[in-house]
Amino acid sequence: MRPAKPTALKIIQGNPGKRPLNRHEPKPAPGCARPKFLNGRAARIWDEYAPELERIGVLTAVDGHLFAAWCTLAAELESQASRMSAPRIAQMRMLAAAFGLEPSSRARLVVKSDETAEDPAARYLVI
């Protein structure tokens, strides 16, 4: 059985099956601090990607360790590309897809424009 898609992803990616959305699903706070254990190139990758992922609402307060794992794998790929095993690359791709970092996963994302975010009526609309 395929795992349930989080409601936020259903809203962002669309809900072609028109299944009811869980209106009581926990909603983590936006933004995420870089974990203290992340250092070197992995920390610089975090600093490069995290602001944009936070801006579009994909990286939240509870996603830090998962995104840190992707940053670590990305740093490993940069430094030892020829030694990366297929399972490590598969892990990296799976994590990348979770954050919309692959073109195929990004194609499924729909991000509200800045105009929609500034619309005062938008907060009263139920998606």
Q: Is residue 12 part of a domain?
A: no
Q: Would the pLDDT of 61 be above 60?
A: yes
Q: Is residue 49 part of a domain?
A: yes
User: What total of structural domains would you count in the chain?
Assistant: 1
Q: Find the angle CA(15)-CA(17)-CA(19) to the nearest 5 degrees.
A: 80
60 by DSSP, 3-state: which?
A: strand
| 68 compared with 24, residue with greater pLDDT | 68
- Residue 26 identity (one-letter amino acid): P
Question: Hey, what are 107's tokens?
Answer: 């194609």
Q: Is residue 81 part of a domain?
A: yes
Q: Would the pLDDT of 40 be above 80?
A: yes
- Residue 12 identity (one-letter amino acid): I
Q: Is residue 1 part of a domain?
A: no
pLDDT attached to residue 3: 64
Q: Is residue 65 part of a domain?
A: yes
pLDDT attached to residue 109: 65
- Torsional sign, CA 86, 36, 52, 114: positive
Range of the domain at 76: 36-110
pTM (predicted TM-score):
0.70
Q: Is residue 27 part of a domain?
A: no
Q: Find the angle CA(85)-CA(64)-CA(50) to the nearest 5 degrees.
A: 85
Q: Is residue 16 part of a domain?
A: no
| 48 compared with 103, residue with greater pLDDT | 48
